[in-house]
Amino acid sequence: MIPALHHPFHAHDTRNSRLVKALRGERPAKTPVWFMRQAGRSLPEYRALRNQGTMLEACLDPALASEITMQPVRRHKVDAAVFFSDIIVPLALLGLDVQIAPGRGPVFSEPVRTAAQIAEVIRIDPALVRERGDAVADAVTRTTAMLAEESEVRGEPLPLIGFAGAPFTLAAYLVEGGPSKDHMAARSLIHAEPTAWEDLTMWLADVTGQFLALQVEAGASVAQLFDSWAGALAPDDYRRAVLPASVRALEPVRAFDVPIIHFGVGTGEILTDMASIGVDGLGVDYRVPLDDAVRRVGRDVTLQGNFDPALLFAPDEVRVAAAHRILAEGLAARAHVFNLGHGVPMDADPAVLTALVETVHAWRAP
Amino acid sequence: MIPALHHPFHAHDTRNSRLVKALRGERPAKTPVWFMRQAGRSLPEYRALRNQGTMLEACLDPALASEITMQPVRRHKVDAAVFFSDIIVPLALLGLDVQIAPGRGPVFSEPVRTAAQIAEVIRIDPALVRERGDAVADAVTRTTAMLAEESEVRGEPLPLIGFAGAPFTLAAYLVEGGPSKDHMAARSLIHAEPTAWEDLTMWLADVTGQFLALQVEAGASVAQLFDSWAGALAPDDYRRAVLPASVRALEPVRAFDVPIIHFGVGTGEILTDMASIGVDGLGVDYRVPLDDAVRRVGRDVTLQGNFDPALLFAPDEVRVAAAHRILAEGLAARAHVFNLGHGVPMDADPAVLTALVETVHAWRAP
Q: Which residues of B touch A178 (CB under 8 A)?
A: none
Residue pLDDT, tens place only, A166-212:
999 999 999 999 999 899 999 999 999 999 999 999 999 999 999 99
Which residues on neighbouring strands pair with residue B101, listed in sequence order? B105
Residue A8: per-residue pLDDT? 39
Cβ within 8 Å, pair A310-B184: yes
In chain A, residues with a C-beta closer than 8 Å to the C-beta of B287 are 231, 233-235, 269
B40 is an annotated ligand-binding site residue: yes
> Which of A308, A347, A356 is the mutation pick for testing B, counting most B CBs within 10 A?
A308
Instruction: Give the contacts of A153 (CB within 8 A, at least 6 positions apart).
Output: none
Return binding residues of A: 37-41, 86, 173, 228, 342
pLDDT tens sequence across B202-225: 999 999 999 999 999 999 999 999
**Interchain CB contacts (distance < 8 Å): A and B:** 79
Quick one: pLDDT band at residue B2, thresholds 50, 70, 90?
Answer: very low
Provide the 10 A C-beta neighbour count for residue A47.
12
List the catalytic residue out of B15, B24, B27, B41. B41
B3 has pLDDT over 70: no
**Strand residue runs (E) in chain A:** 81-82, 98-101, 105-108, 160-165, 222-226, 260-263, 281-284, 302-307, 336-340
pTM for the model stands at: 0.94
pLDDT(B8) > 60: no
Phi, psi values for residue A227, rounded to 5°: -110, 65
Closest alpha carbon to B200 in B95, B273, B115, B111: B115
Contact A187 B342 (CB under 8 A): no
Residue A1 has pLDDT above 50, yes or no: no
The answer to whether the peptide bond before residue B306 is cis (omega within 30 degrees of 0) is yes
Does the annotation mark B86 as catalytic? yes
State the Cα–Cα distance between residues A203 and A196, nearest whole angstrom: 10
pLDDT, one tens digit per residue, over B76-99 is: 999 999 999 999 999 999 999 999
Gap between the Cα atoms of B122 and A78, Å rounded: 43
Taking the C-alpha atoms of residue A271 and residue B244, their distance in angstroms, rounded to an integer, is 29
Give percent of chain A above pLDDT 90: 95
Question: Which residue pairs from B50-58 have beta carbons closer than 8 angstroms and sit at least 24 positions apart in sequence?
Answer: B54/B99, B54/B100, B55/B86, B55/B99, B55/B100, B55/B102, B56/B86, B56/B89, B56/B92, B56/B98, B56/B99, B56/B100, B58/B84
Nearest CA in chain B to A183: B310
Domain ranges of chain B: 4-362
Paired with B263 in beta bridges are B226
A50 is catalytic: yes
Given this model, what pLDDT does residue B11 score? 58
Contacts of A233 in chain B (CB under 8 A): 287
**How distant is the Cα of A220 from the closest Cα of chain B, in angstroms?**
30
pLDDT at residue number A11: 59
Is B6 assigned a ligand-binding role in the annotation? no
Task: Check pLDDT > 70 for residue B7.
Answer: no
Residue A143 pLDDT greater than 80, yes or no = yes
Contacts of B313 in chain A (CB under 8 A): 188-189, 191-192
Rounded-to-integer distance, Cα A205 and Cα B242, Å: 40
- CB of A193 less than 8 A from some CB of B: no
Active site residue B182: no
Q: How confident is the model at residue B5 (pLDDT cuts 50, 70, 90)?
A: very low
Residue B134 is among the residues annotated as catalytic for this protein: no
Annotated binding-site residue numbers of A for substrate: 37-41, 86, 173, 228, 342
Query: Which of B237, B287, B311, B317 to mutate to probe the A interface, most A CBs <10 Å?
Result: B287
Identify all chain B residues contacting A182, using CB atoms and an 8 Å cutoff: 309, 342
pLDDT of residue A51: 81
With CA atoms as reference, report the closest residue to B170 among B276, B98, B220: B98
In 3D space, the residue among A366, A292, A361 whose CA is nearest the CA of residue A333 turns out to be A292
Q: A212: distance to nearest CA of chain B, Å?
A: 27
| Chain A residues closer than 8 Å to B234 by CB | 286-287, 308, 341
Q: Is B75 known to be catalytic?
A: no
Average pLDDT score over residue span B252-264: 96
Residue A4 confidence class, pLDDT cut points 50, 70, 90: very low
Contact B81, B147 (CB under 8 A): yes
Averaged pLDDT for residues A18-43: 97
Length of chain B: 366
Contact check, Cβ <8 Å, B287/A269: yes
Cβ–Cβ gap A314/B345 under 8 Å: no
Determine which of A189, A236, A240, A287 to mutate to test the interface with B (most B C-beta atoms within 10 Å): A287
Q: Considering only CA atoms, which of B166, B165, B177, B163 is closest in space to residue B121? A: B177
Q: Which fold has domain A4-362?
A: TIM Barrel (3.20.20)
